[in-house]
Structure 1
Amino acid sequence: MNDEIGKGEVPPHEREFTQQLSATPRGARLARRLAVQQLDMWGVPFGCEVSDAVALVVAELAANAVTHGRVSGRDFRLGLRLNPYTVRVGVTDPRGERRPPVPGMAPPPPGTATTGYGLVLVQELAKEWGVSEPEAGTVGKTVWAEVPLMPPPAPRTPPTGPSPAAPPGRFR
């Protein structure tokens, strides 16, 4: 699979959306709104678990692009790719020298911090996430995450109360 949304051709069973947005807080908010609207148009209803998870991932990655990946006068790009199993979110910003932590290793912020939980949230919501180089001839980086379309099954909890008695004459 491509490391970045937008590289190569889109297979017929996948759908793709990309949009350039201003590297401002307003652009980050718009990215989240566009993402859930596009998912709804593709049949992933607004307000469902997948839509909400993608909204949170887009919000975090777009906020990081605006806050940490901003270069004056340069936009960021939102990309979405829907395939039969995941929604792949990609946010490309122009600042390549600032890298987020290694995927799977996003450390929680210390103690009573009220910020710094974003990539921890992405790590929890996404099946995979990572950082890749943008298209040839451009600068920056793409932070991407794959949100599963089917939520994992809920853990089974043991029944409460007394267990049923064993049939007579067996298991004694």
Structure 2
Amino acid sequence: MNSVCIFLGSSSGNHPAYIAAAREMGHELAVRGLTCIYGGSRTGLMNQLADSALAAGGKVIGVTVQALKDKENFHQRLAELHVLPTMHERKNLMMQLADGFVALPGGIGTLEEFLEAYTLGQMGFHTKPCGLLNVNGFYTPLEMMLETAEKEGFLKKPYHQSILCAESSVAMLDLLQHAAEKR
């Protein structure tokens, strides 16, 4: 594993644990020598992630679309900032660049991007591990929804179990690296 795509909020959220988790993830990626792939923004949790990784000597790559680039503030110290015409192309490049995917707290965009990466893996388009960093119980409702989908016959147990869950960045990256070694 050489790189991890992090999906997370462009807002900071309402709990200090979210900021701490984004900082911890950025630092942990850098000290492990893993390239951080993310949306490129210089706002919210996204900025905390990038600043932390860069401060620890890590490599950070941003991937965005022109429509967002025209109206948002993007990080100026990234190793690379890819600006693509469509969200489809953006997500496709993120999929290509990353060896694994992790969702930190965020809004509907974070959830949509993570679920697409997870779904594509489930469908056999990639074998890269996907994980939820369950900071402050943020993803507990999603975990419960997946349990319900499994119980009701809409999600097979192996697919449900393939989503890695942890409460710290250290534990998440350990799980991700272990899963990547097994593929």
Structure of greater Rg: 1
More helix by share: 2
Q: Name the TM-score, length of structure 1 as normaliser.
A: 0.30
Q: Name the TM-score, length of structure 2 as normaliser.
A: 0.29
